[in-house]
Chain A
Amino acid sequence: MSGASVLYDVPGPKARARNRVYSVLGALAVLGLIAFAVLRLDAKGQLDPKVWEIFNYAGVRTGIRDGVLTTLQVFAVAAVLSLALGLLLTVARLSDHQPIRWLATGFIELFRAVPLLITIYALWVVLLSNRDALGLTGSQPQFWALVAGLTVYNGSVQAEVLRAGINAVPKGQREAAYALGMSKTQVMTTVLLPQAIRAMLPTIISQLVVTLKDTSLGYIITFEELLYTARLMSTNIIVNGNDTYIPVIIVIGSIYVAMCLALSALANWIERRGRRARTGIEVAPAAEPVAAADAAEGAAAPAGTKD
């Protein structure tokens, strides 16, 4: 919106005519792309009604439903655990004891730097080879490797987000709390954390969107979540001598996009609500933090009360 107004004025008659021409050309180009895709799909027989009829079968539907449920299950467990770990790491990182601070910093830096897939894979190998000792059966090693991997990575990121939030709380709050005779724990739990969490809630939820998307890494360690189920179905169901990757992927993709959009919408709604309140603490933007460093910097910058 504001980006647009920077670049051009309210168009006059000539510009309007020109823009109309561009609009038509642009629309034609976009439509052309879509038409090309549709034609290619048609040429490969992917638009045959028979191909799409697979979604009428109860087996396919239950497969997708179970996949969604497993994905949501992993997400729920990983989300709760990562938030708990994030809280713990934040407190540890702000601790007065140097060894604890170092340990927490090392943990956060290590797991943020390593690709999540590699962490999950290493955990999977460890869990699989100790399967009997740990009493894990069936697909439990995959489940816990995925959950643990998501937890350590997103917990580290959430810790950085929370730390930025705590740094954004005006210094006077902490000083006033100590002046009232509160203990360190009380200052943290009743003064700093509630305000930090409130200010950072949009970013925290946006990071949960990342967590939700990353559950699909379970595919690679053969955990039967939504994507893996989809892969299995599309190779197993053969229509007209073709596998059914395209229709299944289109449906699964829409489900993922819908789930993530719902979560992002929540983050945006909270951001808007937060802006209405006048707490003096800047509410973090709901934009998805690409990397954790980004989240910390971006959040701390507008508040400008780093100490």
Chain B
Amino acid sequence: MNVLLDYLPEFRDGFLGTLAITASAALLALVLGVLIAGFRVSPVPPLRAFGTAWVTVLRNTPLTLLFLVAFFVVPQILFQGASPYVLGTLALGFYTSSFVCEAVRSGITTVPLGQAEAARSLGMTFSQTLRLIVLPQAARTVIPPLSSIIIALTKNSAIAGAFGYGELFNVSKLLNDRGYPIAWIFLWTALAYLVITFAVSGLFRLLERRLEVAR
């Protein structure tokens, strides 16, 4: 019980660390995911192939392997001396982007055909159709799966702790090393994750209600 009170600063730092890496990885995943989804529905074959390869490879690779790549290969061939925060964000963001891409792509298919047809008959180009007509409408159907993806991302961020980034898993390991009973550490960490995931799903439900539109 008193493990939480004794180590409140550590728990707080871990909590904030989890929040920080989840947020930055989510941002990276959203940007990359929407971009790759655009590739996958574009009329340009090489980009479509690139998008397909991206999703296939990243979705079928264990996240732990991506972390290994980020922490041992990326510093070797790209930039040396990047912090665990940056490398962890890269691994989590790239992995999650493939799920975001698939969610966005299936969201695009739910937009009624007539919408894109009308946009084209007004003389809009592909990118205008996508940007102004289809994506804003697709966004609404994408919100529920996106919420699940972000929650999964929050839980996946625990792996960053195993690679030396200070977040909740990292803190539980630290406190266990100091001899505190694992059951209490487990319960408090579980509670912390519950707080984050509830907040995320609440936020997305709010967003969903705001953007709701009769179709």
- List residues of chain A with CB under 8 Å of any chain B CB: 2-9, 11, 15, 19, 22-23, 26-27, 29-30, 37, 40-41, 43-44, 46, 110, 113-119, 121-122, 125-126, 209, 213-217, 219-220, 227, 230-231, 234, 243, 245-246, 249, 252-253, 256-257, 260-261, 264, 287-288, 290-291, 293-294, 297-298
Contacts and interface: CB of A to CB of B under 8 A. Distances in A.
B68 A249 contact: yes
B18 to A, nearest CB: 10
The 4 A-B pairs at the shortest CB distance, nearest first, are namely: A216-B62, A260-B60, A115-B158, A294-B148
Contact of A7 (B129, B173, B189): B129
B65 A3 contact: no
B169 interface: yes
Name the residue in B62, B129, B134 with the highest tally of chain A Cβ atoms < 10 Å from its Cβ. Answer: B62
Given A40-B77, A113-B155, A256-B60, 11 more contacts: A2-B109, A6-B134, A7-B43, A7-B129, A122-B183, A217-B64, A220-B162, A245-B68, A260-B61, A264-B60, A290-B149
Nearest to A263: B60
Name the residue in B61, B176, B183, B193 with the highest tally of chain A Cβ atoms < 10 Å from its Cβ. Answer: B61
B92 interface: no
Given A6-B111, A8-B120, A113 B194 contact: yes
A271 B69 CA distance: 34
B76 A30 contact: no
Given A7-B134, A9-B120, A290-B149, A125 B176 contact: yes
A297 B146 CA distance: 13
Interface residues of B, number: 66
B173 A290 contact: no
Interface string B86-123: 00000000000001001001001101010010001000
Nearest to A40: B77
Contact of A117 (B61, B99, B102, B159): B159
B73 A245 contact: yes
B44 A19 contact: yes
Interface stretch (B4-12, B45-53, B206-214): B45-53
